[in-house]
Amino acid sequence: MKLYCISDSESSLVFRLANIQTFEVSEREKAVNIFNQITGFPDAGIILITDTVASLINNEIVAFVKKNTKPLILEIPSYTSLLKSKRRENVTGK
């Protein structure tokens, strides 16, 4: 079973450095096509999707998860989401 990632451009480098096959997307249509392609791979075990990409294809993810148990779909924070979170922590002190 393999690990795949669908990512925004800002986050993709980290996954590539970890030797994870990464598909970089920025538009909904491409994200849907890549998601459908990867979910069809027989060796797909886990698909990591950054939150920025997941927001583009939320309906497709929900529909897939309702009908399938494999591959496992995990939404993870994107690099920009982490930066925003860090800025918020610095401002609020939390």
Angle between helices 28-39 and 58-67 (to 10 degrees): 20
Q: Is the peptide bond before 71 cis (omega within 30 degrees of 0)?
A: yes
Whole domain around residue 81: which residue ranges? 2-92
76: left (phi over 0), alpha (psi -120 to 50) or beta: beta
Number of domains in the chain: 1
User: What is the identity of the amino acid at 38?
Assistant: I
pTM for this structure? 0.84
pLDDT tens per residue, range 10-53: 889 989 999 999 999 999 999 999 999 999 999 999 999 999 99
CATH number of the domain that residue 61 is part of:
3.40.50.10580
Euclidean distance between CA atoms 47 and 38, whole angstroms: 8
Tokens describing residue 51? 């939150």
Q: What is the pLDDT of residue 10?
A: 87
Euclidean distance between CA atoms 70 and 44, whole angstroms: 8
